Every structure is written in structure tokens, then in C-alpha cells.
Amino acid sequence: MRNRLLLAGLALSVALPAAYALDVVPVWEHTLLDGGAVLPTLVISEPDPRWDGDPEDGPWYGVNLHDQYDGFVRYDANRLLLGIRDNGIDETDPNHNAALAAQYPDRSIIWINPEDGSPMGVAIHVGFKPVELSAEYESMIDGGSGNPPIEGYEDPKNRRFVSGAQSAPEYMNFDVSDDGVVYLGYWYMILRYDPDGNGGFTGPTVVYEQDYRNHGGTQRLSQWRFGDIEVMGSGATTRVILSGKTWRNGMRVRVFDVDATTNTWTLRGAYGEEKNGCFGEPGGYSETVINADNEEVLYGAGNITGNNVWRYFWNGVTYEQDSPDLFVLYPPEDADGWNHALPTRWAGDVAAHQDLDYIVVATTPSWGSQGNSNEIDKPGFVSVYSVANETFGDFLGDAVFGGTKERPPVESDEPSLAPSGAAVWNGIMCQVEVNRLPGYGAGACEILYLSQVYGYGRYVIGATNVDQWSLF
């Protein structure tokens, strides 16, 4: 099958049919340049004197002066969910805005109105310590090396994390199953929040714990994270895809078939020790889908450390990465990162859907490029590429994140005190989700885009019957 596709691709490279075009239409976008007009915490922050831009430094436990977000998904027909990892308020300051901090707490998930992107109240207040960590892991956050000591473990800088009541991981990503259950990453655990039948949630319940000792990437165990979570299905037929969104081998990608009725997690694939028990490159991953050749595939992005987009196929034993001969994305010829995205630069996440013959790639504004005239201040994009056999990899359309505003947000809008002038580290993190709702036409979808620093937006492709919104 793989060789047949390769030969077909080589034959088509001489005279590929022209790809169709898709309009990526913004319904609304909210950026930090709006000054908190819609989401009051989403604002440009002054450089935090406690953070010099080094991603190993900084107060990530509720006093950071930079607001940051994690997780942006559809919950049901009338509500979206947005995670507030840090509201940008130092609650230890006696003069802080206590009312605003209470309305948008650190480590919380809020309801978002899909029609205009406005907040509608707190859905889940996760908090800094929703469940207890193991005593060993708590000690490693404090600078220990495990009990007994873990060979090869190196103590990270201790300014990023603190143990005890205010302990908080670097990420707080989550997703929702088809029956409304929220799955959320907390250090090396996955927590579950169930609908309580009254508009709220019960929990959390610990439903999965990663063996960080044996499959951790031993140099940075205290930085364990699930930076990307994809949940498909529900109940006895749930699939969960977990990625750390990092170069650390033990925190790459794992695919689980989950029976949520018995909380049985079955690892799909035999990855061995190639990447400490997982597979893939750093970055966000799509759901698994069955392609036109009846193969199970998923797509992954590389973030700043990978700078590419890849496809993986199930070979019956594991997920194998396609070679560049079989999978490559083609941006427009004039793409330079300002007018159109370059999929090999700043791609942070990919979304796919079983009913669509295209994928959506999210890119962030450039990062760490203030001294490079070829890179400085490139915006983020939502870009669409064909995965149909006849036009595989062809660019179909895109939208600049913030393009409906006076100007899009860029790297220099969220400064730090780093000598390089780099923006907040999590500016390189973005997320994208693709949904098809009842009544959508063939090939139509909703796209939800989130930058952990620069803002969030909702877009549509095709006939989605959205003309009731004021923008149209």
C-alpha cells in the first residue's frame, strides 16, 4: 500500500490537478491587542521582573504577570470551554484586583459563548492542587532526585515550580468526550470531571497515571506534562491521544483505547524504548482518522523544536511516520510567513476530522527572533491543506490570526526581559480543533484556534448556517 501510494505520488507530480480553494472565514477573533474588551484578563502585560525569558525560569504558580491560556474546545451546541492557566494577576500583591481574580481564577476553565466569544462564567475551578501528588514526585518538584535516586536525573532550576499548596504544572490542557466528560492533564496524571446533571461537574477523579520513572525522559521528570489531549468517542469506546508537546522522549505521543465504564486504558501500539515508550515528534496531534485508502492515520506538528508537520499511519503494530516522499505540505509559492504560513516554521498543532478531506494546521507568531530581520514579528495562521489523494498536501486557504483587527498580534507585543527580547515562552504554543455540527454542509467545519499567549478565535469553512451572527 505504501509503495503504491509513493508511485502514484511520483506519477502525479508531473501534472497534478489544480486544488480547489477553501475560504477560512473568521466569525470572531479576540487578541491581547483588544485590551480586555471581551475577556478582561486578555491584555498586553509589562515585562515581569522575576522572569528573564529563559523557559526554565519564572513563576508559573499563580503570580505570573502574563496571562496565559490552555485548552479551547466545543462542549455542546451552545457552549465552548476555555482554560485559564494564569490570569496575569499577582494575588500576593495587597493591591491586586481581587474581584477580577475571583471572576477568572488561575487554573480554571470558563464557559465561552460561541456566537461572540464572550465569557459566560466559571465551569470548573481546577485549582493548583486538585489531587495529591506522590511523595516522590513532590520531592522532585522541590529539587530531589527520587527515592531511590533516578539514574540520569538532573534537577531543573527550582524557580519554575514550588511544592505544596501552590504547586502547578506548566500546562493545563483538556478535552471533552462525546458524553460531556472533561479529561484534564495534571503533571503525570489525567483527571476526569463528570457532568453532574445540574450544569456543573463532579470530580476530579484520577483515571490515568503515567509511569514517569520508566518512561519519563530522565533529565526532566519534574516537568512532566500532557500539553496536548485529544478525546474521541465516549463510554466503552473512548480513544485518548496524549502528547507532552515537548522534545523530551518520554513525553512524546501515546494513543490509548479506553473503556471509560471500567477505566481500562489499553496502549495502542508497541513503541518499545525508541522514545522512552512513545512515538512521534514534539507538538500537537490530531485525532486518528481513516483515510481514503482505509488506513488509520494521524497528523502531528513540531512546534519550535521540530518545525514541520508529519503524518503517521498504523502499520498493525505501531504508528509509523510517513517519509517526506509520502507526506509533505505545499504552501503557496509566495509564502514567506507574513502573507501565508510556512508549515515548516512555527506549526504547533494539527486538526483532522473523519468527514473532511483536508487538515487544519495552526501556527503561532514567531518566537525568539527579535534580532533576526528575516523572522521578526511574523503573525500566526490557521491554514488548510488537502489530504485527498489527487491533491495531497496542496494549500487550500488560510486566515491570519487577528487579521480582522487593525493588525494581528505578533511576538513583540508580549515582551520579556530576556536579553534576546524574546516574547513569553508559551507564545510558541497554539492549539486548533475542527468540529462538524448538525446542519453543516458537506466539507464544512468550525475551527477553534487558541494561542496560549496571544488570544483565541472561531472560524468556519463552507456552508455552516452561521448567518444568524452579526458578523454576517
One digit per residue, pLDDT tens: the chain, 472 residues? 343 333 333 333 333 345 678 999 999 999 999 999 999 999 998 777 776 555 445 555 677 788 999 999 999 999 999 999 999 998 888 999 999 999 999 999 999 999 999 999 999 999 988 999 888 887 777 667 777 777 766 655 544 455 556 667 778 999 999 999 999 999 999 999 999 999 999 999 999 999 888 776 666 676 788 999 999 999 999 999 999 888 888 889 999 999 999 999 999 998 877 778 899 988 899 999 999 889 999 999 987 777 789 999 999 999 999 988 889 999 999 999 899 998 888 899 999 999 999 999 999 998 877 666 667 788 999 999 999 988 899 999 999 999 999 999 998 898 777 766 777 778 888 999 999 999 999 999 999 999 999 999 999 999 886 544 333 2
pLDDT in the model for residue 11:
32
Closest C-alpha to 225, from 120, 320, 18, 85: 85
Q: How far apart are CA 188 and CA 184, in angstroms?
A: 11
Question: Is residue 285 within 8 Å of 273, Cβ to Cβ?
Answer: no
Phi, psi dihedrals of residue 30, rounded to the nearest 5°: -130, 125
What is the DSSP secondary structure assignment for residue 399, as one 8-state letter?
E
Overall size of the chain counted in residues: 472
What pLDDT is attached to residue 217?
A: 65
Query: Comparing C-alpha atoms, which of 347, 368, 355 is closest to residue 410?
Result: 368
pLDDT of res. 213 = 80
Query: How far is Cα 145 from Cα 143, in angstroms, rounded to an integer?
Result: 7
**What does the DSSP 8-state code read for residue 364?**
P
Residue 394 DSSP code: B
pTM here is: 0.92
Query: Alpha carbon of 414 to those of 417, 432, 450: distances in Å?
Result: 10, 21, 16
- pLDDT reported for residue 7: 31
Residue 70 grid cell: 490552555
pLDDT at residue 154, as a whole number: 64
Q: How far is CA 142 from CA 138, 146, 157, 222, in A?
A: 7, 11, 10, 9
| Residue 148 grid cell | 531511590
pLDDT of 4 reads 30
Given 3.40.50.150, 3.65.10.10, 2.120.10.30, 3.40.50.2030, which CATH number is that of 2-461? 2.120.10.30
pLDDT at residue 46, rounded to an integer: 79
- What is the rounded (10 degree) CA torsion for 393, 395, 396, 399? 130
With beta carbons less than 8 A apart as the criterion, state whether 440 and 463 touch: yes
Q: Which helix (H) or strand (E) holds 12?
A: helix 2-12
Handedness of CA 382, 306, 387, 442 (dihedral sign): negative
SS3 content of the chain, % helix, strand, coil (to 5): 10, 30, 55
Could you tell me how far CA 20 lies from the centroid of its own chain? 28
- 218, amino acid identity: T
The closest of 286, 111, 114, 261 to 179, measured between CA atoms, is 261
